[in-house]
Structures are given as structure tokens and as C-alpha cells.
Structure 1
Amino acid sequence: MLNPGPTVAEILASHESGSGAPTSTAARVADAIAARGADGTWITPVPRERLIAAAAEIERRPGARTLPLYGVPFGVKDSIDVAGWPTTLACPDYAYTATDTAPAVRRLLDAGALFVGKTNLDQFATGLNGTRTPYPVPRSVFGGDLISGGSSSGSALAVALGQVPFCVATDTAGSGRVPAALNGIVGWKPSRGLISTVGLVPACRSLDCLTLMASRIEDLDRVFEVIAAPDPDDPWSRARGPRYDGARLRIGLPPESDLEFFGDEVYRRAHLAIRARLGGVGADRVPVSLRPFLDAGELLYQGPWVAERLVEFGDFLAERPDSILPVIREILTGGYRFDAVAVFRAQQRLQELRAIVARVWSEVDVVVVPTIGTTFTVDQVLADPIATNTVLGHYTHFGNLLDLTAVAVPMGVAADGRPVSAMVFGPALADDTVLAAAARLLDEPRPTGARTDVRLVQKEQR
């Protein structure tokens, strides 16, 4: 795994002790961004002088050193509003200047965090590969012309490059997990509704999540304590679930025959090596079928949910079709082929699959699969953009349809040097348990929360 840069905890310790300061951190971040140039990470970074001035303002706040994120720099995916800054969705003709700040971002700012800028993305947050942008196409930090992953491409790079210790991104079909996997960092999609999506330009409003990217589970925990809160203005908002109680984990593992690596033997061997090590993390391994999860995932782009994007972008598509990248335009127009009958048929099928999956959680606490089954170069994606994108979402598309919580966990590199990532997922509101399992995979110490009977609460929720 990479060593991206100072963590949230390290930056806080420096600022609180006085050995460092938000202004010096701001200068370091600005210099790091400038040194990379137009590499596709940022669309709108805060200019150096303004960033240092913002850091100085944080330093002057009463009780500044007691703020939970005192001077910690962070980036925001450019589909989330920050007042006074453009929201582009990687489409210049769609761009507008936000008048309000998304409540989730406002909570971070109130906690003393330092906004560094807006990060690149696949246009309209549509894609998992990072190449669908009119701005410079980002590449993975692992080189070899490897794609960065998307749609939260710039957010993953900003963390992997050590420019910021965390970013706020989104995940509808894997947009927070796939780029994390391709850049060797942690990408967590909490249960839908735990982080307010007010101020997010939606891709599919019924599925969208705000997500967090960092290099450690500890950093995710710190930021989540600040950013998570019920929001009466978000109709999908809900309170967080029980804390992990320290009980022995039951990890579900699909049979090898359920796993797909698309002919990538190097990746197959790398993931099977990860599975072989799971017995040493203090958990029981339980066989589970991946079939109902994959069947649900196929509904996302082969079913009517693609039409939900037209709720937000249909008028712009009709009025300014040439302003949209051809591959995005093709995806959006594909939504017109669905009618009301198709919507209800898909909803009924999804409900059947949800009932099957619900029974899985009586047997296991979490499931571990690859985050991605293979990788692609930029040229490979550009040559076949739809098919390669579908492959990238093989293990992630079902996450929000089935109301799961999931985290991509960096697990080193394969024999050929490409990044390897495992995904841990569990049922809605089992976020703390999923993070506990991820921390064990990383051999990262993590304190146990309140002694709540997680399995009993999950049973009652079902």
C-alpha cells in the first residue's frame, strides 16, 4: 500500500500541540497541488493566498485548538455545493456558482476543517472509470496509464497523492469504492441517509450517497462523527445504527465459482490470497451465495434506474445535447426506452432479491469480495467505454439497490504491481461492524463502540 501523507490524526496532533499550524498546512497543500499541475485531480482548487487566508481565519476562532477537525484540509467532489464556488459536474455549460453550502460540508467547516477545492469527476457523476471528463483525464497513482476510477476520480487522487487526508465524494453505483480501489486508499459508502445529500446534484436521487475517502479507518471514524447527522430536509435521512459490540465476526465468503475476474489470473490469485488470510483476523468464515447480489446489480443499468438520471438532466439534455460528452449522452438517452410497466416490474424483482438477501444477514455479519475484478488502462476504456465500465461495477452496482453499507479496503499490490482491494459490505445501518471488519483486514487498531447487540438490532430492523 502507499503512504499517502499525514493522516487526520497526525495533522490534528500537530496543530493542537503547536508544532504545526493550519496556515503552514495550507501552504504545504497549495504547493503540492501546484507541483502536480493540471493532472486531472482538481477542477477548482482554492488559490494559494485564499487558502492560507482561510486557514488563518480558522486559527483566529475562539477555542480553535479544541475544534474536532482544526485546520484539517479536505476536498469536495464537484457535484456537491460549496457557497461561492462553482459546481460544474465536469460539464462547463452546466456549471453554476453555488449560493448555499451542502449541510454535510457545512458541518465539516464548522468543525474547523479547511476546504481546499472541488475535485474532478466523471461528467454528471456517470461512470466508474474517470475518463469521462472534459478536463484533463486523471490516472491512477500506480502509473502504467491505469485509469483512476470514477466517478469520484479526483477525490481519490487527492487523498492517494497525500494532498489532503480525506475527501467528501459520492457513490451511486460504486463511484466512491472503485476509484479508492484503483488508488490504494479506503473508500466508504455509508448506509444511505446517514450523511445528508442536500446540496448534492443527484445522479439517481433514490440511490445517491455521500461518501468518505481516506487512508485509514481511524480517519473515516473521526470525520464521520462530525459529518453524520439526521437532516429533516433530506427525505432519505436516518440515524446511524448500533456500534459494533466486539463479538466474533462471521465473514461471508462466496464460493470461488461465484467470483469473476474477467480472465485476469493475476487478480484472481491476489484475491484468493486475501481470502486465505481471513482466518487470522479473529472471524468465522461462512459460505454465502453471491448470486442474488449480482442479480440485483444487473438491474441498475439494464433496468429503469438509468431513467432516473433524466429527472435531473433531462431538460439540459434536450436543450444542450452537444454540451454533454457523447458517452454520457448515450447513457442518458437510453433512459427514454423505459416505461412505467418496466419500472414496476424492476421494483418487484428488486424486492424479491432484497428478501433473499435479508436472509443472508441471519448467517453472517459482513461479506468480503473483490472491489473490482480487473483493471483497465485509459486507452482500453476509451476504446470500449460502456463494456469496461460495466466490468468495473460488477461488485459494486448492487450496493445501494440492496441498501447496503460497503467499504473498499486497500490490500497491497498484485504480482504485477497493480493495486488490490477487497470490499467489505453488510446490511443497512451495520456501518460500525463493516468498519470494524475493514480495520481488521488492515490490521488497524480500532476501539469497540457501545455494547449493543448488533445482531438483535438488525433482526428487529428486518
Structure 2
Amino acid sequence: MLPEKLTIHGLTALYRAGDASPVTVIEEVLHRLANNPDPAAWISTVPPETLRDRAAELAKGGYDPSRPLWGIPFAVKDNIDAAGLPTTAACPAFAYDPADDAHVVARLTAAGAILVGKTNLDQFATGLNGTRSPYGAPRCVFDGDYISGGSSSGSAVAVARGQVAFALGTDTAGSGRVPAAFNNLVGIKPTKGLLSAAGVVPACRSQDCVTVLAHCVADGELVRRLAEGFDAADPFSRPAQARPLRLEGFRFGVLSGAEKVFLGDDAAEALYDAAVANMTALGGIPVPFDYAPLRECAHLLYGGPWVAERLAAIEEFVEVQADAMDPTVRAIIQGAAGKSAIEAFVGQYALAFYAQTIAGMWADLDLLLLPTTPTIYTLSDMLADPVRLNSNLGRYTNFVNLLDCAAVAVPAGFRPNGLPFGVTLVGPAFTDNDLANIGDRLHAKSSPVTYPLKIVPPPTYLPILVVGAHLTGMPLNTELTGVGGILLGAVRTAPDYRFYALAGTVPPKPGLIRDPGFRGPGILAEEWALPPSAFAAFVARIPAPLGVGKVALSDGRQVTGFLCEGHALAGATEITGFGGWRAYRASL
């Protein structure tokens, strides 16, 4: 019997142990789909025999650890192409049969994942509520009277109900974060361009992101890293870059005063305050900031010229078949018809102003901690007031893509009535890796069931432990990031290590010495993984008196890392009590 929640890490553990196979997993998925309490979550599914054949083909050779998603069932939002299934964008009259998988779908199936089907959405990805679809309105899995959130509504519900282990959505204004919050999921909203949008029906082409919905950050991050990659077929695709955040002592922006709005949802406000307290307990420093400019910027997405991008994406269809569209979606998209080039330039000027504003914020803050939404609505309330209430849902999400930010939405507890609440960590572009690290730790503080974040590098990569100038944000960190190094996470050495600031080194460097029998705090370090050729070149460049050897960690593992020759301690200053190089340097 499989667990109620399907997770990548959980299924992979079963496969490794021989306690499950893709065949048994797919049979359970088919059983759950046949007994689906919310059929509106799905638009189309792969035929059962095709799913069984795919599972059997994978199982034939036994578990394959080189394919990180081996045997993992997943779904994609039905504005993302998957060969063999129609793409409808939740509009039957618009439907077409794609010849190929979208770029991201192809990458995930190559990693061993099994596509189960296509999920429902707010039509043409226009909405944050999940009710604007002729295929029905998926419901919040915790209370069917409430909306699921959108536009990636079906993707969220399919994951939350345990029908797949993860799902792809899209996010232009919050479409991958809002349904995550309403169904107690993680929503990974990458930096724009990290995941190719080739094979995705555009909403606003310049702002669209493919997103991942999963039960935990560890699963979502694994999928994000496997799906990302530069794609020349997408004109907005960008190669990955490294922009590290401080993982200790980070300054995070919090709402305060008149900008701290929950629209009467006192339980949501209390859970947000608890999330702030949890972030502080993780070593963060809360900093009240002025949200007003970001709120004003958010209005540009629907109130400014960017709504014209929604019309540009489907202009020919609207001209001849507008009557086939959802009335609310049609009104929004047709409302762009009068937008002028002058308005477009004025909008660009306004956006440039807000971009300068948030750049100033990033000079003082590492990231923002925001409610994903101020509240949640019943289905009946949303249908009675679809535009205004939808706008309320985007209060804290709409600015993110416009201002080129990365975001990770995580669960943050439950209201007394049993409805979930979520928060979102927002950082500058390309801070995805460290946002995930901090988001994972925050999720663990608020959830009784957690899955530790474990980044899985390619199998040929070699681990290296760094304790000083190569740490994230330190002067030599580019020697790791510049050769494709992957940060696996922060770790701590065993307690029998002493730490010294070496004399006369440029840039300043520490020395790590093992002293059996000594009991100290352990030294904070980072574990990285490097491609083999880069690892060899990196080790060859290490200057005396430093070298590499096996370093014992507090978790019992031994990892290759920096050690120091004993003679170099002449004139050095012992800094073991600081527990790490960052803390020591900060003290100066």
C-alpha cells in the first residue's frame, strides 16, 4: 500500500528497497483516478494501457539511479504541450494536438518520470482562483466549499490528493503560488527564463514562468533543477547564474503598518506573524519595509499595458471565436484591445522606476517574507464577485515576475477552521538555490511532517567541503560557481576540530585542524559538488599550507575538504569559538 501523499523521495526509497515498482505505483495511480472525488482537476489523461506499458518498460531493467525521476508519476497544466494529448488551455474551441513535448516535459520524462495527464486551469491562465474553466472548478482539498486557487488549479489538486508526486504549472501573476497555498503545497516559482517556455501557450510571454508544485521543497527543487536549462527555442530563456544569499544572519523584509493587509482574516495574520517568528528563530533578522511601491507595481500586470500581451498570445482566436471563451476571461483579454503604443512605453517607464526601487531594497534586504495571499474565498463568493476578489488574491504575488524575482511558496500552518495558509519567500533573480534552502528550513519549522532538502547532483560530480574564502558570498566562491559547482547545503564538522585565522594570507583564509579528544562547537561549512575535471583543477590550485583530506561531519559522514598543515599555526589566531568563518569575519 502506497502512502496517501506521493513524494519523489518516498517513492524513490521504495524503489531502491525493492518494496515497489513503477508497475505497482501506476496501478495505484489508476485506482485513485478511477475513484477521484474531484474530477474537475483533470482535463485529459494518458490511456491506462499506455501508462502500464511505460511503467513496465521502466521496470524491465530494474531501478536506475542515474535517472533521478525513475518511475515518478507527474502531471502538467493543460497549457503545456505533451505529445499524444491535446493542449486546450481550458478552452475546447482552442484545442490543438502538439507534435512534440514541451522542452520541460521532455527533460523530465528523460529523467524517468511518467506523465499521467493534463490538468485543469483558469482559461488561458487568466486568473488566480481556479473557477474560470468550462471543465469545472477544482476545489480546495481541505474544504470543498472553498476555491482551489489558480490558475494552476488542477495541478495543485492532483498533487494534494496523492494522484501524482509532482505537477508542472505556470505562473505569471501568482498562478503557481496561490494554489500551492490553498492546498498546503510547496510552489517553486523560478527566475524567469530558467525553465524554457517553449511548448507553453503564452499568457504574458515576457513574464511567464513554468513552475513546480510538490509536497516539499526537496521534491520541487529536484524537479526544477532537472527541468531547467537554456533553450534557444525560447527567446526569453536564460542560462543559470549564481546569486548567493546569506544562509545565516539574513535580513528579510516583513510587512508592517497599513501595508500589512489580511482583509479581515485574523487567523491568516496570526499565521504570518508566526512565520516571521520562525524565520527569526532560523537566524534571520526581520526588517519592516515599505511594500507600497511593490503593490503599485503589481497593478501594472492587469491595470497596465501588459494585459495586451494576453491578447497578443491568442489574437487570431479571439477575433473569430471570442464567444467560446469564459465570459470573465474574455472581458479581461478583450479589454486590452484599446491599449496603445504610448501606454506601452509609459508602462515600461513605470516598471523601470519600480525596478530601481526594488534594487534599492535588495541593497538592505536579502529576501522578502510575504503572505502568499491575504485570505481565501468560498466558491460562491468568488463567482459572485470574480474580478475584485481575484485581484485581492494577487496583492502579494503580482509584482514578482514584473520585477524579475525568484520565489518559493511554502505551507505555514492551518487556520482554526482547518484551511491552510502559506507564505512566500521572494528574492532577486537567480537566488533560487538559497531561497529553496531557507524555504525548506521554514517549512520544517511549521510542519509536523518534513522532508529534508537534499540536492542530488549528477552522479559523476565529486563532493568538496569548504570552510573559508570559498563559502557562498566570499571572495573565492566564483572558483566553484564559475565551473558549474552545485551547492549541496550547509553542514557542520564533528566537534573535534579547531579553527584558526591564518597569518599573512590574501585573501584572508582559515585553517582547519583535527584535535582528537577536543570538544568544540563544530565548524560551519558548505558542501559543494564539482564536475570531475573541475574538481581536479580546483584541488591542483590549492596553495600551501592548505590541502585536502577527509573531514568528519556532525552527521557521521566523511567528505573531502580543506585541511591545514600544523606548522602554519605559528602566528595564527584560534577562532574555534566563532563556529565558522562568516561569524569570525563579521566580528571584525
The TM-score normalised by the length of structure 1 is 0.94
CA-CA distance at 1:290 after TM superposition: 1.1
Structure 1 match to 2:302:
301
Q: Distance in 2 between matches of 1:410 and 1:168?
A: 18
Q: Deviations over 1:132-160 (max 9, x none)?
A: 00012110001151000010000000111
| Corresponding residue of 2:125 | 125
Residue 105 of structure 1 aligns with which residue? 105
Q: Could you say which residue in structure 2 is the equivalent of 1:422? A: 423
After superposition, give the CA deviation of every residue in 1:97-127 in whole Å (9 maximum; x if it has no partner). 1101111110111111000100010111111
Q: 1:393 to 1:454 in 2, by over 3 A?
A: farther
Q: What corresponds to 1:407 in structure 2?
A: 408
Instruction: Tell me the CA shift for residue 26 of structure 1.
Output: 0.6
Structure 1 distance, partners of 2:201, 2:4, is 29
Q: Is 1:194 aligned to 2:183, yes or no?
A: no
**Any idea what the Cα deviations from partners look like across 1:372-425, whole Å, max 9, x if unmatched?**
001111111111111111011111100100001112111110122221101110
User: After superposition, where does 1:176-255 map in structure 2 within 5 Å?
Assistant: 176-242=176-242, 246-255=247-256
- State the Cα distance separating 1:161 from its structure 2 match: 0.7
Structure with the largest fraction of helix: 1
Return the alpha-carbon distance in structure 2 between the equivalents of residues 455 and 288 of structure 1: 27
Given the superposition, is the C-alpha separation of residues 256 and 215 from structure 1 closer, same or farther in structure 2, using an over 3 Å criterion?
A: farther
Q: Which digits, 9 at most, give the CA deviation of each residue in 1:21-73, with x for residues without a partner?
A: 01111111111111115521111012322211111122235873531111001
Q: Tell me the secondary structure at the aligned position of residue 170 of structure 1.
A: strand
Query: For residues 228-377 of structure 1, what are the structure 2 equivalents within 5 Å?
Result: 228-242=228-242, 246-377=247-378
Aligned to 1:96: 96
Question: CA deviation digits over 1:161-182, x for unaligned, max 9?
Answer: 1111111110000000000111
AA of the residue aligned to 1:78: D
Evaluate the alpha carbon distance shift between residue 150 and residue 358 of structure 1 in structure 2; reply closer, same or farther with a 3 A threshold.
same
Cα distance in structure 2, aligned partners of 1:107 and 1:455: 33
Kindly indicate whether the alpha-carbon contact (under 8 Å) linking 1:38 and 1:136 is maintained by their aligned counterparts in 2: no
**Could you report, residue by residue, the CA deviation over 1:277-330 in whole angstroms, capped at 9, with x for unpaired residues?**
332112122222212211110111110111111112111111011111111110
- Identify if the C-alpha distance between structure 1 residues 358 and 264 changes in structure 2 by more than 3 Å, giving closer, same or farther: same
Separation in 2, partners of 1:77, 1:455: 40
Q: CA deviation at 1:452?
A: 5.2
Total equivalences in the alignment = 456
Distance 1:56 1:245, change over 3 A: farther
In structure 1, how many angstroms separate the alpha carbons of the residues matched to 2:142 and 2:74?
Answer: 22
Question: Contact between 2:82 and 2:105, CA under 8 Å: does it hold in 1?
Answer: yes
C-alpha contact (below 8 Å) 1:73/1:115 kept by paired residues: yes
Corresponding residue number in structure 2 for 1:21: 21
8 Å contact kept, 1:122–1:128: yes
* 1:173 matched residue in structure 2: 173
Residues 1:272 and 1:4: Cα distance change in structure 2 (over 3 Å): farther
Question: Residue 424 of structure 1: SS of its match in structure 2?
Answer: strand
Q: Which has the higher contact order (CA 8 A, sep 6+)?
A: 1
Gaps of 5+ in 2: 445-449, 456-464, 479-588
| Matched-pair contact (CA < 8 Å) for 1:15–1:65 | no
Aligned equivalents of 2:303, 2:247: Cα separation in 1: 40
Q: 1:78 to 1:61 in 2, by over 3 A?
A: farther
The DSSP-based 3-state class of the residue aligned with 2:164 is coil
Hey, what does 2:392 align to over in structure 1?
391
Q: CA shift at 1:454, angstroms?
A: 4.3
CA distance in 2, matches of 1:19, 1:265: 45
Separation in 2, partners of 1:84, 1:434: 36
Deviating more after overlay: 250-259 vs 129-138: 250-259
Shift, 1:273, TM fit: 2.7
1:40 counterpart SS class? helix
Partners of 2:229 and 2:260 lie apart in 1 by 36
Partner of 2:35, secondary structure, is helix
Moved more, 317-326 or 201-210: 317-326
Q: Which has the larger radius of gyration?
A: 2
For 1:233 and 1:256, locate their aligned partners in 2 and report how far apart those are by CA, in whole Å.
Answer: 45
Which secondary structure state, in structure 2, belongs to the residue aligned with residue 141 of structure 1? coil
1:214-246, Cα deviation, whole Å (9 max, x unpaired) = 011110122122111111221211222325564
CA distance in 1, matches of 2:265, 2:53: 49
Name the structure 2 match of 1:36: 36
Query: Helix, strand or coil for the counterpart of 1:367?
Result: strand
Check the 8 A contact 1:365/1:433 in 2, yes or no.
Answer: no
The one-letter code sitting in structure 1 at the alignment partner of 2:285 is: D
What one-letter code is carried by the residue in structure 1 that aligns with 2:431?
A
Q: Which amino acid aligns with 2:14?
A: S
Q: Show the counterpart of 1:86.
A: 86
Aligned-residue offset at 1:343:
0.6
Deviation at 1:455, TM superposition (A): 8.7
> Which stretch has the larger CA shift, 51-60 or 363-372?
51-60
Q: Which residue of 2 aligns with 1:68?
A: 68
Which amino acid counterpart does residue 340 of structure 2 have in structure 1? Answer: D
Instruction: Report the CA distance shift for 1:4/1:274 in structure 2 as closer, same or farther (over 3 A).
Output: farther
Aligned-pair CA distance for 1:247? 4.0
Between the aligned partners of 2:282 and 2:124, the Cα distance in structure 1 is 39
Q: Verify the 8 A CA contact 1:182 1:419 in the aligned structure 2.
A: yes
Q: State the Cα distance separating 1:128 from its structure 2 match.
A: 0.5
Shift of 1:208: 0.3
For the aligned residue pairs, the C-alpha RMSD in angstroms reads 2.0
Once residues 29 and 75 of structure 2 are traced to their aligned partners in structure 1, the CA distance between those partners, rounded to angstroms, is: 11
Given residue 283 of structure 2, which amino acid in structure 1 is its aligned partner?
G
TM-score, normalised on structure 2? 0.75
